[in-house]
Amino acid sequence: MGCLCCKPSAIEDSKESPRERFSSKASSDLRGSRVTSSRREEVHRAKDRYDSNDGRAMLIDKHANGSLRLHSEHFERKREKMEYVVAQHPGMGSIPKATEGEQVAAGWPSWLAAVAGEAIKGWTPRRADSFQKLDKIGQGTYSNVYMARDLEHNKTVALKKVRFDNLEPESVRFMAREIHILRRLDHPNVIKLEGLVTSRMSCSLYLVFEYMEHDLAGLASHPGLKFTEAQVKCYMQQLLRGLDHCHSRGILHRDIKGSNLLIDNNGVLKIADFGLASFFDPHQSQPLTSRVVTLWYRPPELLLGATYYGTAVDLWSTGCILAELYAGKPIMPGRTEVEQLHKIFKLCGSPSEDYWRKSKLPHATIFKPQQPYRRCVADTFKDFPAPALALMETLLSIDPADRGSAASALKSEFFTTKPFPCDPSILPKYPPSKEFDAKIRDEEARRQGAAGSKGQRIDLERRGTRESRAIPAPDANAELVLSMQKRQGQSNSKSRSEKFNPHPEEVCSSDL
C-alpha cells in the first residue's frame, strides 16, 4: 500500500483561493457562540487566514487557553444554550459542544474532537495495542504507512500514521477533510477507510485501510513486464468506475497517477490517497486551487492557472495512465511546469484562438506559443489499437469540455470491442510490488554501483533504470505546508521515483 498517502512536501506552494472549497447555500448555516465586542478586532484579524481552508465565511475567537472557536460572520444569538464549532466541509453540519464532550468520553483526544468532530462522528477509536506493526511500506513528509496485523479481526491492514506538530488546528482540519471524503465514498474500486487509531496521550493519528499488495506504478516498473490488451482494459475499467463513483459523489481526486492506484492479489484496483481531493458542486461553480496533480499527469488548464475546473482534471490524468500502460513509460515526463506545458502542446497541440479568448486563464499571455502546435497524438502512438487511441484522444483533449466523463468513457468502443476486459480474478499473480519498493531497490543498486561494482552498473543500464523524479502535486493546503516548513526547516523535496526515458523523441513541432 506503498503510496496510499505519502504526500511529499510541495515543490511550489501558493496561497489557496479564499473560496477553494465549495460552500453551502449561505453562510447563515453557520452557528456560533457570542463574540464579545472587546475581542471583535482580534476575531476579524484572524478571519482571512482561516477562510482559505473553506468556502464558508468564518470568524475565529481565541480563548485564553489557546483554543480556537469558529463563529458565524453575521449570525449571533443573544442567548445560546449550546456552543457550536463550525465544521470545515460541505455537508458537514455544526457540532454541539455537548457532542464534543461525548466524543472525548468515548476515547477521542480533545484536540481531535474539537476540530474534527464531524469527521469522526459515530465512530469509536481503535486501541493502538490491537495492532501489530509488521513493516514500513511507504513514507512521506508528514506521514508513514505500515503493513500491520489487526489482532482483533485477524487480518493484514495498512496503517497510515499522520503526525501533527503542536496540534495546530489547520493541520488537524486538513486531515479531517480527507477522513470526511473517505467516509463519503463506498465503492469496490475506491480504497476503504476501516477505522482510526488514536489515544488521548498521543499527538498522532492512524488511519486504518484495507491492505493492498501492489500499486500500478510498481507493477509497471518490473523489467520485462508488459500488460496484454485485455489486462489494460481491466485496469482502466476499474479506474474509470472508481472515478465515476467519486465524481457522482461530488469529489475530485486531483492526484490520479500509477502509485495512487492500488491493486490486491485478486486483481482488484482501488483509487487511493485522497489527500488532495476536494468537494465540488457541478451546479455551483466555485474557485479551487490550481496547485494540484503530480506534474506528469497535470492537465494544461491547471498549468495555465485555472481556478474554475471540474472532473476533466481527473480525466486528463486518466488519459495519461492509459497511454502509459500501452507505451510502457510516462508519455510526458516534464521536469518543470514550463517544460510540461511544452510537452503537452507538442503532443496534443496548442489551444485554439477561441479557447485562449474564452478561457481568460491567468498565465495565458506568458505561455501562449507564438506559432500554433499541430496535434499529433495519432501519429506518435500509431501502433496503439484504434479503440485505445480513440479514447486517449478524447481524454487528452486540450479543451476540458471535450474530455467527456468517466461514465461516457466506460461506454466507449474501447470497452465494447474484442478483446474485452478480462475479469480481475484471472489477472496474473505478482509478488508484492509498489513504487516504494522499486525506489528502495534502485537506490540500493545505485549505492552498489557507486562503490565500484561495474557489473551492477552494466546491469542497471541493461534494465533501463535511468530515472527522473516526477514533481509532486503542490499541497492544496498551502497555508499548512508553509507553516510546517517554517517550523521544521524542511526544503522542498522531489517525489518518489517514476520510470521515464530522459531523452524522449520529440516530434511534430519546434521548441517554444
Range list for CATH 3.30.200.20 in the chain: 128-210
Mean pLDDT of 61-80: 37
- Pick the residue with more confidence: 382 or 11? 382
Annotation: binding site for ATP = 160
Please confirm, yes or no, whether 354 is among the known catalytic residues: no
Q: d(Cα 373, Cα 352) in Å, to the nearest integer?
A: 10
Percentage of residues in the chain with pLDDT exceeding 70?
Answer: 64
Using alpha carbons only, what angle is made at residue 415 by residues 410 and 421, rounded to the nearest 5 degrees? 115
Q: d(Cα 397, Cα 320) in Å, to the nearest integer?
A: 11
Confidence band (pLDDT; 50, 70, 90) for 345? very high
Mean pLDDT of 139-165: 89
Q: Note whether 227 and 257 are within 8 A (CB).
A: no
For residue 293, the 8-state DSSP code is S
Across 67-100, b (16+ Cβ under 10 Å) vs e yields ebbbbbbeeeeeeeeebbbbbbbbebebbbbebb
**What SS3 state is found at 321?**
helix
Q: Note whether 350 and 376 are within 8 A (CB).
A: no
User: How much is the pLDDT for 140?
Assistant: 72
Class of domain 214-426: mainly alpha
Confidence band (pLDDT; 50, 70, 90) for 488? very low
Residue 394 CB neighbours (<10 A) = 17
Class of domain 128-210: alpha beta
Q: Is the pLDDT of residue 331 over 50?
A: yes
Q: Note whether 442 and 497 are within 8 A (CB).
A: yes
- Pick the residue with more confidence: 32 or 427? 427
Annotation: binding site = 160
User: How much is the pLDDT for 286?
Assistant: 87
Q: d(Cα 348, Cα 396) in Å, to the nearest integer?
A: 7
Mean pLDDT of 481-492: 44
Q: Is the pLDDT of residue 313 over 80?
A: yes
Q: d(Cα 463, Cα 454) in Å, to the nearest integer?
A: 14
Q: d(Cα 131, Cα 139) in Å, to the nearest integer?
A: 19
Range list for CATH 1.10.510.10 in the chain: 214-426
Residue 44 CB neighbours (<10 A) = 13
**Mind listing the pLDDT tens digit for each residue in 347-382?**
999 998 888 888 888 888 788 888 889 999 999 999
Among residues 61, 215, 255, 442, the one annotated as catalytic is 255
